[in-house]
Amino acid sequence: MQAHAEVVVGGGITGAALSYELAKKGFGTLLLEKYSTLKGATRYSYASLPYWSGTTDLTNQLFQEAKQHHHDLSEELQTDTQFRELDLLLTIATEYDPEKIATNFSQYNIVPRLISVEEACEIEPLLNKQAIVGALTVSQGHVSPEAITLGYCQAFTRLGGQIEIAEVTGLVKTGNNATHPYPERITGVYTTDKTYHAANIIICAGGISRNFLKSAGIPTRVYFTHAEMLETPPVELQLNTLVIPAVEKRLNSEAVTSTIELEQMWDEPGHEFVPFSLDAGAIQFKNGSIRIGQISRVLTDPHAKVDPVKSEVAMRVEIGKVLPALENLPATWHHCLVAYSADDLPLIGAIPNVEGIHIFSGFTSPFALVPPLAKRFANYVAGENDEIIKQLSPSRFMDN
């Protein structure tokens, strides 16, 4: 048995950033990650930083903090996060009215500019002008998901933090039974070969967070989609922008499947609440590789199987309509779980009615919002008051 002040479960961007910030505050922190190489939603993300997309005072503040954070982060972590600014093109398909689509973006902190087909093709020559009736454009940030996560992990270990490659199989519980009739408390985690005890356990397990907590009898309103994408090796072809559709079907799927009415069904495997969505987009990284996506499926079983051959064909057909040069590039299909919440805001803080366990998950824009919120949450754990962290507490759903 080993004891720590904090045990963080999950070594993606959320767990890596939070572990680093906790270590900065002087907490003895253990980061537990199942895989020795980066996998999951962090690995297969576009890693975009949509600073422009705040719609409330809260999200505007967080995105502005994120922008400043990323400008300084490479120096702080002593690594190149590959941070850059690039043009985002939100393509408008031929079945839509560009002016009407543009009004859907009028509530954002920085309103994307509506441009013609010709202007869009000047910005991104690989676009198929026959497939769109216009586009919206705005500048936003971008990083390498692998580089920034590795940078956080290395900085964490330099501060004395400990990383163990181990699969967490359960939670150590005390209380709430005849022998110990006091409030239930989580005092540690079980892995396949060890038990680790800690003052606090923090779940940063992304899309698997819900099912992991459910297996311990702990409900939480975090959900997941099965996301699929294609990744090419480095190619000579040059994609200048991040291209995604202006009408993202995935966002609507998340909104309609995270209601309280479906809560019980989420705990039953085998449900598919809505047909899968396919949002054809692409981003090229600094090493020349391109990620093409994405299919999103709302399946209540985190281990559900999907047909990679059919998915790859569907993604290639759709990206071929918008960016024909990408359709037949050699690429590998990948699948992961992506976490989301019932209100587009992450769940951060103590899980109600159970002592000793916290969650840091459900980020809609993780690469933008995780760095500032990891810092805020670590400060909060250290005893500092933070009204933003209080607003993001899982307890906000207690009456819903």
Angle value at C-alpha 59, between 202 and 11, nearest 5 degrees: 25
H/E element holding 23? Answer: helix 13-24
Round to whole Å and give the CA distance between 328 and 383.
54
H/E element holding 170? Answer: strand 168-174
Cβ atoms of 222 and 341 within 8 Å: the answer is yes
The strand pairing partners of 7, in sequence order, are 30, 201
Round to whole Å and give the CA distance between 266 and 253.
14
The fold of 86-140+223-341 is: D-Amino Acid Oxidase; Chain A, domain 2 (3.30.9)
Query: How far from 202 is each of 138, 205, 359, CA to CA, in Å?
Result: 36, 9, 5
pLDDT of the chain along its 400 residues, tens only? 456 899 999 999 999 999 999 999 999 999 999 999 998 999 999 999 999 999 999 999 999 999 999 999 999 999 999 999 999 999 999 999 999 999 999 999 999 999 999 999 999 999 999 999 999 999 999 999 999 999 999 999 999 999 999 999 999 998 765 455 456 899 999 999 999 999 999 999 999 999 999 988 999 999 999 999 999 999 999 999 999 999 998 888 999 999 999 999 999 989 999 999 999 999 999 999 999 999 999 999 999 999 999 999 999 999 999 999 999 999 999 999 999 999 999 999 999 999 999 999 999 999 999 999 999 999 999 999 999 999 999 999 875 5
Domain 2-81+145-221+343-397, classified CATH 3.50.50.60, yes or no: yes
Indicate the domain borders of the chain: 2-81+145-221+343-397, 86-140+223-341
Angle value at C-alpha 122, between 251 and 247, nearest 5 degrees: 15
Round to whole Å and give the CA distance between 91 and 102.
11
Q: What is the pTM of this model?
A: 0.95
H/E element holding 92? Answer: strand 84-93
The strand pairing partners of 281, in sequence order, are 293
